Amino acid sequence: MKVKLNDREIQIHTENNQLIELMKTNQLYHESGIAVAINEEILPRTIWEQYQVQDNDNILIITATQGG
């Protein structure tokens, strides 16, 4: 299956296609300070574990940073 992850096209070969597993595999999962959009729609944190990644999904994961 092909998806776009943070503007980079990748192939994924997971059995269950769970978003949370994709995030962990790519070191993009943190307990707090991140937001996820799928196909330009914000995905609530409460459904990250249930969301099944679909072929050609455009996934954007943003990490908050401190600064000033």
Domains and CATH numbers, the chain: 2-63 (3.10.20.30)
The beta-carbon contacts of 13-17 under 8 Å, at least 24 apart in sequence, are 16/52, 17/52, 17/53, 17/54
pTM of structure: 0.86
Tens-digit pLDDT profile for residues 23-51: 998 888 888 899 999 999 999 999 999 99
**Residue 68 scores a pLDDT above 80:** no
CB contact at 8 A, 18 and 26: no
